[in-house]
Amino acid sequence: MPAGSLFSPASRLGVAATGGVALASLALQYALILLLTRDNIGPMLGTVRFFSYFTILSNLAVSLVALHVVFARTGFFTRPSVRAAVALYIGITGLVYAVILRHTWNPEGAMWWSDAGLHYAVPALYLAWWLWLAPRGALAWRQVAGWLLFPAVYVAWIFLRGEWLGEYPYPFIDVAQLGWQQVLVNAFCLLLLFLVVGLALVALDRLLARRQAAAAT
């Protein structure tokens, strides 16, 4: 079945707006990182730094879902489980930033715009789209375990990158400042948060699917 037939015009319009905000914010953030790193680590390591933020990766995932839905592509990024996994990742991005990270700096100018887009606008828009405009996926509880693979691999990569470059993208996984014991506790708590929120999303999806089925009868 073509992907376009699964999504209503309103759904495609909503995800198009979300993807547009994500892509614009990503482009602005990348330009700013290249500008800030031009005279010290250079564009190559600046690009590595850019892709080392979970915020960037989760916003890229939103963009890929949006592009596939808008252009009626079938495949990986139109699967119900993948759309839900992206809701989990971008939701955690917004939650962790709002609760922990927003107090650690004060962006201004263009940096404020990219920060607001990546951490506030895109999470809110994508979650709203997933809840109200995306088709319900009849998600299974066992799928949550698979969703944890990406953040687990990400954390492992960050540890390897930290050993390589001596820097960490987020203060709560900074081995140099906190030590391995505290960082591993923080990483475990973060994965536990992914698990809890993932289970909540499955429960919500199943509840909404039942309500839609009841309303259709």
Give the residue from 88, 92, 90, 64 showing the smallest Cα distance to 78. 64
Res 175: pLDDT: 94
Give the residue from 203, 84, 88 showing the smallest Cα distance to 137. 84
Res 3: pLDDT: 55
Which tokens in the block code for residue 210? 């039942």
For tokens 């699964």, the residue is 6
- Which region holds residue 195: left if phi is over 0, alpha if psi is between -120 and 50, else beta? alpha
Res 4: pLDDT: 52
Give the residue from 142, 140, 149 showing the smallest Cα distance to 194. 149
Which tokens in the block code for residue 34? 């290249």
pLDDT per 10-residue tile (average), the chain, 217 residues:
72 96 98 91 89 97 96 87 97 97 92 97 98 89 97 95 89 94 96 98 93 75
The long-range contacts involving 176-182, CB below 8 angstroms and separated by at least 24 positions, are: none
pTM for the whole structure: 0.94
Give the residue from 163, 73, 98, 86 showing the smallest Cα distance to 125. 86
Res 2: pLDDT: 52
Gap between the Cα atoms of 89 and 85, Å rounded: 6
Give the residue from 101, 91, 88, 116 showing the smallest Cα distance to 174. 101
**Residue range of the domain that includes 82:** 3-216
Res 126: pLDDT: 98
Q: How many domains does the chain have?
A: 1
